[in-house]
Structure 1
Amino acid sequence: MPAPKRIGSQTVAFAQPPVILATAALAGAKEGQGPLRPTFDKVIEDPYYGEDSWEKAERRFLQEALEKALAKANLRPEQVDYLLAGDLLNQIVAANFAARALGIPYVGLYGACATIYEGLALGAMLIDGGFADYVLIGSSSHYSTAERQFRFPTEHGSQRPPTAQWTVTGAGAILLGRQGKGPRVTHATIGRVIDLGSTDPMNMGAAMAPAAANTIVSHLSDLGRQVTDYDLILTGDLGYYGRELLLALCREYGYELGERHNDCGLMIFDRQKQDVHAGGSGCGCPAVVTCGYLFQELSAGRLRRVLGIGTGALMSPITTKQGDTIPAIAHAVVLEA
């Protein structure tokens, strides 16, 4: 007997769609200079955020975002059933330390930059499955911690090619509930790992675009929907070149995304005024755009149905240095006002 909530090959439909009760978005100084500044709860000018390392600063970003989402919903940590969170640091230590501080039963996630949407999908499954009343989800990144781990320390002053993206300094948090008022998570499409042989860590958009296309096409096929069934199809952090590749790949499958598509990595910065090359990236990129701009647009009714796709490059510094290819993942959820 097939699973009753499963549709097609990769998609699930929630019988009682969980509600996004509250979100919080904290962003760094460069992000605050971009066009989405009014949608952030807080812009933090100091990259150290009063700490003695960038890693500790990122931990503080994430913990504060999680606490702020709880405060908006007037909930205490002990009322939350599960915390699902992750980041880009080795052993996802930003999330681990935030979980230590909050004391909520915790599942650490690593989906690279797709983590916030991975958490949304899994959190919705926990609630719709009857395993939780409240699930808290979070994700973060920091320009300096990510550069030091995956590429070069900022002190190195290395040149970046045009395809490189700027890792977002920021954190986002989402509180899901079984009941209440707010946008709902109605469907989720879990992605497959796609690897078409890209090896350039300075061009992650090229590595992630095929995974995004695979998930979008699978989602539309599973539900028998068209691009026009969505007000917005939003990818996580493909950047300029990744977006162009995504549009071409979807076109080959017969889907013209056109103006209904946008990318968090292109929205968070002004590429004409800010030196970010191909756009933004990092776990914090889709997290702050989703928890700020997207949540506000859905809550106000300016957007009614959105397909959000988190995109992640599943590489490590070791595999990159060994010349291996970059596998990628994309997870999608449907958010409805």
Structure 2
Amino acid sequence: MDSKRAGNQTVVFGSPPVILASYSVVGPKEGQGPLGKTFNKIWKDQLNGEKSWELAESKMLQEALQGSIDEAGITKDRIDFMLAGDLLNQIVSSNFAARQIALPFIGVYGACSTMALSIALGSMLIDGGFAEYVLIGVSSHHDTAERQFRAPTEQGNQRAMSAQWTVTGAGSVLLGKQGVGPRVTAATIGRVIDYGETDANNMGSAMAPAVADTILNHFQDLKRTAQDYDHIASGDLGTVGIALAAEVLKQSGSDMGTVFTDCGIRIFDSTQDVHAGGSGCACSSVVFAGDLMQRLKAGELKRVMLVGSGALHSPTSALQGESIPGIGHAVVIEA
């Protein structure tokens, strides 16, 4: 069998999977942001009738997954696998959503890089001949993440200016072997990079080196530059992280110009008091499932690279004084 590897870290799909449908559900703060009109559904509050934030997050993910199924117009029994992930311990939001969706389930954890990683893995399943349809969903919730990783929101702790606001939302896509829609043409699997950052309120700095490393290896593997893309979006580096990543890339000979943006910066605006921008699994998933997919379908964008960025720490590792490893996974989508 001919190798589909290109260089050290990249795979090029021989039969690029099609993104048949996408769906996004967000909370009220996200709906009030500059991308509000691009989301399929906006909740009126953080609970939406559920008894806990955790149950609300799982419900949000269920809605996004079902939304992609309905939009694609295929019956659920034709879907071979469901891939989903979130930020909570043991990815319980995804597990409970999978309990309701009732499809063969693969849980994925890549922290905030989970959307890009899941699209890469789902595309490998289809291009490898193991599946015809793969359903993908990723979620996060501001209040569940704050409770787990930092402090209960009821305490009203003052947030550092380098801190980011975890996005409340869920994004989903349905990949197919055939059909009409943007195609996933390549994926670059990132390496874990750790430069010793220990501040959980500055995750952009922790993730930036890994994102830069993945982009540089992607360019090297495919003999491309930033100018070969209409849009390169990191997942959630925020204002601090994207500035650092852009500087690392520039010093390494890759001037990103104006094509390099960040989902965490785009989802909120300066009036919403989110400090360094948005973060969380849902940050890149809802921006991709909403705004970027709409622009790809409209022909406004021809070739997009989504670089999911993840901070691979846990509450326990942070309390033990461990540093925060970073990861970046990239997928290329072409109209």
- The interval holding the TM-score normalised by the smaller chain is over 0.9
The letter of the residue matching 2:250 is R
5 Å-filtered alignment, 1:148-159, equals 148-159=147-158
What is the aligned partner in structure 1 of residue 106 from structure 2?
107
What is the aligned partner in structure 1 of residue 75 from structure 2?
76
Question: Aligned with 1:258: secondary structure?
Answer: coil
Kept after mapping to 2: 8 A contact 1:247/1:258: no
Question: Aligned with 1:23: secondary structure?
Answer: strand
1:200 matched to 2:213: no
What is the number of equivalent residue pairs in this alignment? 335
Aligned with residue 275 of structure 1, among 273, 277, 281: 273
Question: Aligned with 2:160: secondary structure?
Answer: coil
Inter-partner Cα distance in structure 2 for 1:210 and 1:258 = 18
Q: Following TM superposition, by how much is the alpha carbon of 1:273 offset from its aligned partner in structure 2, in angstroms?
A: 1.0
Q: Deviations over 1:222-281 (max 9, x none)?
A: 0000110000111000000001000100011100112110000000000x2110000000
Q: Following TM superposition, by how much is the alpha carbon of 1:79 offset from its aligned partner in structure 2, in angstroms?
A: 1.3
Inter-partner Cα distance in structure 1 for 2:228 and 2:328 = 20
Inter-partner Cα distance in structure 2 for 1:239 and 1:298 = 23
Kept after mapping to 2: 8 A contact 1:114/1:329: yes
Structure 1: tracts of 5 or more residues without a match:
none
The letter of the residue matching 2:118 is G
Q: Hey, which bits of structure 1, 4+ residues long, moved more than 2 A?
A: none
Kept after mapping to 2: 8 A contact 1:194/1:329: yes
Question: Aligned with 1:255: secondary structure?
Answer: coil
Q: Following TM superposition, by how much is the alpha carbon of 1:77 offset from its aligned partner in structure 2, in angstroms?
A: 2.2
What is the aligned partner in structure 2 of residue 323 from structure 1?
321
What is the aligned partner in structure 2 of residue 305 from structure 1?
303
The letter of the residue matching 2:308 is G
Inter-partner Cα distance in structure 2 for 1:77 and 1:104 = 8
The letter of the residue matching 1:254 is G
Q: Deviations over 1:131-172 (max 9, x none)?
A: 000000110000000000000000010001110000000000
The letter of the residue matching 2:241 is G
Question: Aligned with 1:259: secondary structure?
Answer: coil
Per the normalisation by structure 1, the TM-score is 0.98
1:128 matched to 2:127: yes
Kept after mapping to 2: 8 A contact 1:66/1:173: yes
What is the aligned partner in structure 2 of residue 88 from structure 1?
87
The letter of the residue matching 2:280 is G
5 Å-filtered alignment, 1:243-258, equals 243-258=242-257
Kept after mapping to 2: 8 A contact 1:77/1:103: no
Inter-partner Cα distance in structure 2 for 1:237 and 1:315 = 15
Q: Following TM superposition, by how much is the alpha carbon of 1:287 offset from its aligned partner in structure 2, in angstroms?
A: 0.5
What is the aligned partner in structure 2 of residue 9 from structure 1?
8
Structure 2: tracts of 5 or more residues without a match:
none
After the TM superposition, which of the residue ranges 67-76 and 167-176 deviates more from structure 2? Answer: 67-76
What is the aligned partner in structure 1 of residue 235 from structure 2?
236
Inter-partner Cα distance in structure 2 for 1:153 and 1:75 = 41
